[in-house]
Amino acid sequence: MKKETYDRLMKFREDRDWAQFHTGENLAKSICIEASELLEVFQWTKEEKSIEKVKEELADVIMYATLMADHYHLDIDEIVNTKLDANEKKYPAELVRGSSKKYTEYRNKK
Ligand SMILES: [Mg+2]
């Protein structure tokens, strides 16, 4: 996320004095609620009902995730890269390329 976008999100919250409501619990709930709204776009269909609705709900998820990272003073690039390091070990490309199996499935077959 660009710094100007991040700053705009923080200003939006600050202008409304909403940080007081942004506890870890409330932000986790909000991420799940918005992720559910994103999932709803695909309810009863294989394709999204509206790309505009996908954009809207995905933006909500990203904004709440960003606010949660801010709440815990987390560096988003650092935590994403740490998780990618773990995922690269858990899912070695040479073993899982082209497969959607969970790591427990391919590891048990070795
Ligand atoms: Mg929403």
Q: What is the pLDDT of residue 8?
A: 98
Per DSSP, the three-state class of 85 is helix
Find the 21 Cα to ligand 1 centroid distance in Å: 17
Find the 95 Cα to ligand 1 centroid distance in Å: 37
Please state, in angstroms and rounded to a whole number, the distance separating the CA atoms of residues 59 and 72: 20
pLDDT in tens, 42-96: 999 888 789 999 999 999 999 999 999 999 999 999 999 999 999 999 999 999 9
Q: Is 44 left (phi over 0), alpha (psi -120 to 50) or beta?
A: left
Residues near ion ligand 1 (Cβ under 5 Å): 34, 37, 57, 60
Residue 4 has pLDDT above 90, yes or no: yes
Residue 109 has pLDDT above 60, yes or no: no
Ordered domains of the chain (ranges, CATH): 1-74 (1.10.287.1080), 75-110 (no CATH)
Find the 78 Cα to ligand 1 centroid distance in Å: 27
Find the 56 Cα to ligand 1 centroid distance in Å: 7
pLDDT in tens, 77-88: 999 999 999 999
Q: Is 75 left (phi over 0), alpha (psi -120 to 50) or beta?
A: beta
The mean of the pLDDT values for the chain is: 93
Under DSSP, the state recorded for 91 is: S
Pseudo-torsion of CA 63, 81, 35, 68, nearest 10°?
-40
